[in-house]
Every structure is written in C-alpha cells, then in structure tokens.
Amino acid sequence: MSDAAILIRATCALYVAALRDSLRTLARNPWVALLVPAYTMLLHLAAMVAAPLGIAGGFLLGFVLAGCASSFLAVLEQAIGHERVDPSALGGSFGRYLWSVVSVLFIFWIIQFLLTAIVQVNPGLRWLAIAVNAFIFVVCNPIPELIYQSPRDGMQLVDEAINFTRENVLEWLIPVAVVLSPVFLLDAGTGYHMMASIGPTNALGYMMAALESWLPGAWLPGIGAAGPLLVAVLASVGVAWVMLFRGFLFRALYRSGRRQRIFDARMRGL
C-alpha cells in the first residue's frame, strides 16, 4: 500500500479519535457548553458599560474579550488534558492566557486598522479586506489551540500557526471545509464573508443563524416560543463540541509529523 493511502487512513483514524474523545469529554463536562452564552452575555454587558467611555471603553471591551477567550481556552486545556474539568478553577482562568490573547488581538487589530483605512480611502478595495481576512482565517486558524498547547506568544504564535497550517494543511483544514461547505453551497459570497469575520465574539451568533436556517419552524412543530431557546442550546453545544474536537485533533497533529503518522499506521496495520 502506498504512503498516500496509509496517510489517508491514518488521518481518518485521527478524525475518528478526535470525534470520540470530544463527544466523551463533552458528555462528562456538559456545563462547558454553558460557558459560550455566558461569555456572550458578559461581552454584551461590557459593551453597554464601555459604550459611553470612548477610547477607554474600547480598551475595556478588548480586555473583557481577551479575558473570556483566556477563560474558555483554559477550560479547553483542562478538558483535553483531564477527564473532568473543575468548575471551581473557572475564576482564575480569566487571567491564565490573558496576555497571550491580548498580544494576538493587538496584531490583528493593527491589520484591521490598516485595512479599514485603505477601504475608507478607496471603497472599491473592500474585496481586498475580505480576501486578507479570509487568508488570515485560513493560515492563522490554529492560533486558539496554539495558545494553550504551545509555549509561544505574540508574533511567535502567528509564525507557528502559519507553519503548522502549511505542514498539516489538508489534515487540519478538511474539517473546517466540511463545516463551511453548506454555507458556500448556498452562497459563496456569504461563505467568504463568514471566513473574513468569524471570531470569538460572534461564533455563537453564526452557529445560531445556521441552525435557524437549517431547522425551520415546520420541522419543529409545537415548540413555539421555546424554539429560540432550543436553537441557543444547540448552538452552544455545537461551539463547545467544535472547539473540543479541534483541540484533540490539534494535539494529535502537533505531536507528530506525516512521516511519523505513516510509520505508526504501518506498525498498527492500517
């Protein structure tokens, strides 16, 4: 059997293992799914407080966002490294990766600032902003996992994310493509806009919008006012599961190269 065929089988085995481990971890720690709407509510409250504060409010909101991202990543680290997550440690999780998240957000803020300035001068270049953001979405996709599974920080995180994506482009991005493919099939333009704008503050919103379009009221007879609540619950579970799946898959890919995976697969008789 060729190395390519063995690599395909080994990659499929990684997907199956990540799927199994993520579902098992979420079943053991179902409260993790509640964190997504909790962070979203906290960000909305922070936005209300920050609105009248001008630039200072913008910095405040940025730190709240970084704290929520830090907390979620710390919980994911515990979930992927242990069988059960300790909810009592949630308070300290907001500062665990705060500065790593802040450093990455600052880099992306500079890029967005420059892109916004370019578009304001020449609105016809809006396509450039979308293309750059979509490119960043692809090459920097594993940054959340790198924050809590590698010792890097700042620009080193971006550099390592690019290297990881280059070395595992198919293995890592195929699941991303599977998630986004329904959107692209419906409307390619919407797909590119989604890639350009999705982030920690609106992932839940995108998931809810997708579920609302895929689960019309005709499919859910008799639910009535409970429909939005059901959509919110499903979206929260979906975001939590996706991030757990990504974490387990990243760990497997990060710890081994393609040659090692081919060798291990041969030894296991795959």
Concatenate the DSSP letters of all residues of 58-124 into one string: HHHHHHHHHHHHHHHHHHHHHHHHSSS--GGGHHHHTTTTHHHHHHHHHHHHHHHHHHHHHHHH-GG
Q: Calculate the CA 34 to chain-centre distance.
A: 16
pLDDT computed for residue 164 by the predictor:
92
Largest CA distance in the chain: 65
In a domain, 74, yes or no: yes
**91, burial (CB in 10 Å: exposed 0-12, middle 13-18, buried 19+):** exposed
In a domain, 59, yes or no: yes
Mean local confidence (pLDDT), 140-163: 85
Mean local confidence (pLDDT), 80-94: 78
In a domain, 33, yes or no: yes
Mean local confidence (pLDDT), 32-57: 83
In a domain, 139, yes or no: no
Residue 19 makes CB contacts below 8 A (sequence gap 6+) with: 245
Q: Looking at the predicted structure, is the pLDDT value of residue 120 above 50?
A: yes
Choose the weakest-confidence range: 74-83, 85-94, 249-258: 85-94
Q: Looking at the predicted structure, is the pLDDT value of residue 19 above 60?
A: yes
User: Would you place residue 17 in the very low, low, confident or very high pLDDT band (cuts 50, 70, 90)?
Assistant: very high
- Angle (CA) 141 146 148, round 5°: 130
Greater confidence (38 vs 84) lies with 38
pLDDT computed for residue 89 by the predictor:
74
Q: Looking at the predicted structure, is the pLDDT value of residue 191 above 80?
A: no
Task: Note the pLDDT tens digit of each residue in 194-232.
Answer: 555 555 445 545 454 544 444 444 445 545 555 566 666
Total domain count for the chain?
1
Q: What percent of the chain has pLDDT over 90?
A: 11
Query: Are 249 and 22 within 8 A, CB to CB?
Result: no
Q: How far is the C-alpha of 96 from the C-alpha of 84, rounded, in Å?
A: 19
Mean local confidence (pLDDT), 23-36: 89
In a domain, 124, yes or no: no
In a domain, 237, yes or no: yes
Distance in Å from the first CA to the final CA of the chain = 10
Q: Looking at the predicted structure, is the pLDDT value of residue 62 above 70?
A: yes
Greater confidence (232 vs 161) lies with 161
pLDDT computed for residue 216 by the predictor:
47
In a domain, 221, yes or no: yes
In a domain, 146, yes or no: no
Mean local confidence (pLDDT), 27-39: 86
Query: For all residues of the chain together, what is the average pLDDT?
Result: 78
Give the range of the structural domain holding residue 217, as residue numbers without chain letter: 3-99+174-268
